Amino acid sequence: MRDFIVIDDLSDQEIEHIFHIADDMAGIIDSGGPCLCRDKIMATLFYEPSTRTRFSFESAMIRLGGNVIGFADSKTTSVAKGETIADTARIISDYADIIVVRHPLAGAAKVMADYADVPVINGGDDSHQHPTQTLYDLYTIHKHIGPIKGLKVGLCGDLKFGRTVHSLSYALARLGAEMVFVAPEGLEMPEYVVQRLKLKYKNEPECAERLEDVIGDLDVLYMTRIQKERLPAEMDYELVAGKYVIDKALLAKAREQMMILHPLPRVDEIAYEVDGDERAFYFRQSSYGVRVRMAITALLLGALKMPNSVPTEPPPRLISVSKRCVNPRCVMTHETYLEHKFEVVSKLLLGCAYCEEEPVDV
Ligand code: CP
């Protein structure tokens, strides 16, 4: 049984395999096909709002011939009475064959996976990772541009709290892309991500302050919204939100073939006048979520086989120490039964086993 919690849970070969299966799934969406997951039940446990992730997973499971149970508001469940993630995982394992979870605590999907007896898919855990989003971000690039290696990809917007850019940057680094980070002051890519990119993948992205200075060099521009709901109280949303907006005037400086992606929802960072431009791929990207999620669901349920490949790297070495995670929104800080486990990233760097951030003394 396998879970899909972080993008590194899949090898490069497995990611490519998923792209092939996603292409086949497009045929099932268009004209029907075998019910690969008949009699299987997916539980979608959404402790945080979602449109794309929840509905596309549910659509994927129904198109595979399976059934769906779940919630979109945890206040209507026994979570409101104080039930832990661990106990919820154990209980739902008796009701469903696979779990998709979205949670406002970083690392919550890993806890769910540690305690569930069925495969768990991370549908986004706070600012940590969103690995299925990354799969279809990569699928869109691969399908319409080609191999990722050597491409120059700009990641722009809230790089601190946006989970999509964390999992995507690891994948792009692994697959050999060059990256440019463009973020407002205070919302730059977190140091723990930058350190991992350097230590694990030997990748050192450029940083730029002005999008107009770099847009002409990019093959792909990945825009993101400012995560208003995660900003600290002292940060002025209006000040940072207006800093990077792509409109027709800015697009005039970009290459004719540059692809614009966005995980959506957008707020103001892409003007509506851009939607009709041939370079605007974000709605197509979103539509690919169903076929890619069909592929990963069928694979994790064992309805289709993964290739016999070795993982890209051995599993991380974990140690238990009397420190806590620095991140106030880490699951370790909130679910008190959890062991304080840290991953040895390098001789000099320990990262929380749940959210990847640094340890601090208790
Ligand atoms: N991209 C994405 O995760 O969208 P939702 O928050 O609507 O699921």
DSSP string, 233-254: TTS-HHHHHTS--B-HHHHTTS
Average pLDDT of span 237-264? 95
Pick the atom of ligand 1 nearest to 264's CA: 1
The Cβ of residue 18 has, within 10 Å, a number of other Cβ atoms equal to 25
Residues in the chain: 362
Q: What is the pLDDT of residue 311?
A: 60
Of 167, 174, 273, the residue nearest 222 (C-alpha) = 167
Residue 166: partners with Cβ closer than 8 Å, 6 or more residues away:
127, 128, 129, 130, 190, 193
Grouping H, G, I as helix, E, B as strand and the rest as coil, residue 44 is strand
Find the 49 Cα to ligand 1 centroid distance in Å: 8
293 half-sphere exposure, CB direction, 13 A CA radius: 31
Q: What is the pLDDT of residue 310?
A: 61
Indicate whether residue 163 lines ligand 1 (CB < 6 A). no
Q: Which of 46-55, 227-236, 314-323 has the highest mean pLDDT?
A: 46-55
The Cβ of residue 104 has, within 10 Å, a number of other Cβ atoms equal to 18
- 165 DSSP assignment: H
Q: Closest residue (by CA) to atom 4 of ligand 1? A: 52
| Phi, psi dihedral angles at 81 (to 5 degrees) | -95, 5
Find the 265 Cα to ligand 1 centroid distance in Å: 6
Find the 223 Cα to ligand 1 centroid distance in Å: 14
Contact (CB, 8 A) for 138 and 15: yes
Q: How far is CA 190 from CA 75, 125, 163, 227, 240, in A?
A: 31, 16, 11, 14, 17
Residue type for position 341: K
Average pLDDT of span 346-351? 86
Measured CA to CA, the distance from residue 74 to residue 49 in angstroms comes to: 10
Indicate whether residue 56 lines ligand 1 (CB < 6 A). no
Q: Closest residue (by CA) to atom 1 of ligand 1? A: 263
List pLDDT tens digits, range 150-205: 999 999 999 999 999 999 999 999 999 999 999 999 999 999 999 999 999 999 99
Helix or strand holding residue 299 (H, E)? helix 282-300
Of 38, 59, 52, 54, the residue nearest 99 (C-alpha) = 54
pLDDT at 147 over 80: yes
Average pLDDT of span 284-291? 98
Pick the atom of ligand 1 nearest to 53's CA: 8
Of 14, 109, 27, the residue nearest 307 (C-alpha) = 14
Question: What does the buried/exposed string (b/e) look like for 57-83 if buried means 16 or more CB atoms within 10 Å of the residue's CB?
Answer: bbbbbebbbbebebeeebeeeebeeee
List pLDDT tens digits, range 19-77: 999 999 999 999 998 999 999 999 999 999 999 999 999 999 999 999 999 999 999 99
Indicate whether residue 325 lines ligand 1 (CB < 6 A). no
pLDDT band at 257 (very low <50, low <70, confident <90, very high): very high
Q: What is the pLDDT of residue 327?
A: 97
Q: Closest residue (by CA) to atom 6 of ligand 1? A: 50
Grouping H, G, I as helix, E, B as strand and the rest as coil, residue 357 is coil
Pick the atom of ligand 1 nearest to 263's CA: 1
pLDDT at 312 over 80: no
Indicate whether residue 263 lines ligand 1 (CB < 6 A). yes
Measured CA to CA, the distance from residue 192 to residue 350 in angstroms comes to: 10
Q: How far is CA 68 from CA 61, 208, 290, in A?
A: 7, 44, 15
Pick the atom of ligand 1 nearest to 55's CA: 8
Pick the atom of ligand 1 nearest to 124's CA: 3
Measured CA to CA, the distance from residue 73 to residue 126 in angstroms comes to: 16
What number of H helices and E strands is found in the chain?
12, 14
pLDDT band at 239 (very low <50, low <70, confident <90, very high): confident
Mean pLDDT computed over every residue of the chain? 96
Q: What is the pLDDT of residue 321?
A: 87
